[in-house]
Amino acid sequence: MGRRHEASLPPAVRRMVTAAAEYLIGCAGIAAVRALDRDVVGQAHRPRGAAGRVTGWVFAHRPSNRRRNRWVVSLLSVRPADQILEVGFGPGIAVAELVRAGAGHVHGVDHSEVMLRQASRRNAAAIRAGRVTLVNAPADRLPPALDGPFDAILAVNSLGFWPAPAERLAELRRRLAPGGRIAIASQPRCPGASAGTSRDAADEIENLLRGAGFTQMSTQTLALSPPVICVLATVPGIGTPER
């Protein structure tokens, strides 16, 4: 479709055409990843090489991925002075969204060098402006620069890959300021994943967060297929009764 025709389309139709195109490109991207690398789950765990670059591109363009990240950021009610940490930022969609939402500073950590490069390109202006710092490190060896305290921490489709997630969450809790909040989101991507799989993921995350000492738990759902769940919780503030 030529640019002139596109410009004459009503905005709603343009949005639909764009979403359909992105979806088809996303599917083609997944097929390309499968052709390049049979270990697709391994690529989601730690994108690397040429197949990792395609995986990152798919993460960044698949409409459901973009909606999921935008939605999780909206749940965090970002405030202008907030210091925020994302663990497993992938191609940096949530990082860009956090900047748009007006966060004071966004820190991110991901153990994939390919993801660090893609997220850094996507957020180059915010990095230059001193609003974003992205580092290449595993969740179980966060560098001292990420000791915090943070006002909010998030992880989107990443916790499932961490070694010993209960310990990781306890460490993250110590990095949050009193009253700080955490958002752990999951959209199960295993074959046959259903609403039940999402509910199970929510139960598991709630239990992990409770065990790590978080309180005021609430679970939100975004109606995609399968649904995205996001468990929100806080670290008790000074003088706040634990619930």
Binding residues (CB under 6 A) for ligand SAM: these are 44-47, 59, 65, 69, 88-90, 93, 109-112, 115, 138-139, 156-158, 161-162
Of the candidates 99, 110, 112, 166, the residue with the CA atom closest to the CA atom of residue 142: 110
DSSP symbols for 26-69: HHHHHHHHHHH-S-HHHHHHS--HHHHHHHHHHHHH-HHHHHHH
Report the residue number whose CB is nearest to ligand SAM.
90
Q: What angle do CA 79, 82, 88 make, to 5 degrees?
A: 115
Nearest distance in Å: CB 59, ligand SAM: 4
Give 33 or 156: the residue with its C-beta nearer to ligand SAM: 156
Nearest distance in Å: CB 117, ligand SAM: 11
Nearest distance in Å: CB 225, ligand SAM: 16
Give 14 or 45: the residue with its C-beta nearer to ligand SAM: 45
Torsion of CA 77, 83, 86, 92, to 10 degrees: 80
Give 163 or 241: the residue with its C-beta nearer to ligand SAM: 163
Give 113 or 242: the residue with its C-beta nearer to ligand SAM: 113
Nearest distance in Å: CB 115, ligand SAM: 4
Q: Is the Cα dihedral 57, 195, 207, 180 positive or negative?
A: positive
